[in-house]
Structure 1
Amino acid sequence: MAWAYRGCVKVIPRRRAAVFTVTDAPVPMSEDIGHRQRRYLVSMGVRTACFVAAVLSAVLGAPVWVAGLLVVGALVMPYVSVVIANGGREPQPRAHFEDAQRPDRKEISGPPPEIGS
């Protein structure tokens, strides 16, 4: 910590208080869970579509590799869906504010105003 002397008075620099903004607050857990549930349901819908398409392609005489590829997609999708849904909370962008200690700004001096004055 740097100490400075001005005349006979020892000046101790004050620590700046940490400033928290409302934009630093994370998304509510209920919104995060809802978002993850929607992603999971969409991916399970894709899985169901792969399975139905595999059955239809086999019945309609499509090449075996097409039906096989759709079956593999239907088998892999549950694992991918669970991993994506349990991936944790989404990272939130942080707000960036200018530095309050720019040289062209002056500090506020004097005592705080009295109530009613």
Structure 2
Amino acid sequence: MARQRARDDDAVRITTAAVSHEEDLRKRQKRYLLSMTLRSACFVGAGVAGLAGISWLWPILIVGALVLPYIAVVLANAQANRVDGFQLRSGAFGVPELESAGSAQRAGLGGR
């Protein structure tokens, strides 16, 4: 009985469960769309800066437009991981929780 009570006290937490696949995909699509919008704005801004004669700004915007696709792909492929530092109790997975009838009888618990 004491063993059962000790196990009941160790509740399993689900706060580290990942978000649903659909929600994760939607967030990654939004990040990618935002990055590609910023890239387009960099290209347009570089053209406007070049036409306006701002010779120091347009190369920076072109570099930004060339680097943003890499950043956008990395951010789009990064899956959400939720970690709160909680460690599950260690246990031998695959080991039966209940004792077999033979081991219970040898321990003097069976047949009562």
TM-score bucket (shorter structure): 0.5 to 0.7
SS of residue matched to 1:16: helix
- 1:89 counterpart residue number: 80
Matched, 1:80 2:71: yes
- 1:50 counterpart residue number: 42
Q: Any gaps of 5 or more consecutive residues in structure 1?
A: 1-11, 96-117
Higher strand residue share: 1
Matches of 2:70 and 2:14 in 1, distance apart? 36
Matches of 2:20 and 2:84 in 1, distance apart? 15
Matches of 2:51 and 2:70 in 1, distance apart? 27
RMSD: 2.4
What number of residue pairs does the alignment pair up? 83
Which digits, 9 at most, give the CA deviation of each residue in 1:33-81, with x for residues without a partner?
1001001100111110000000111112112x21111000000000011
Q: What displacement does 1:85 show?
A: 1.3
Q: What displacement does 1:22 show?
A: 4.6
Q: TM-score, normalised by structure 2?
A: 0.63
Q: What displacement does 1:90 show?
A: 3.7
Q: Any gaps of 5 or more consecutive residues in structure 2?
A: 87-112
Matched, 1:37 2:29: yes
- Describe the shift of the 1:46–1:90 C-alpha distance in structure 2 as closer, same or farther (beyond 3 A): farther
Higher RCO, 1 vs 2 (CA within 8 Å, ≥6 residues apart): 2
**Bigger Rg, which one:** 1
Matched, 1:61 2:61: no
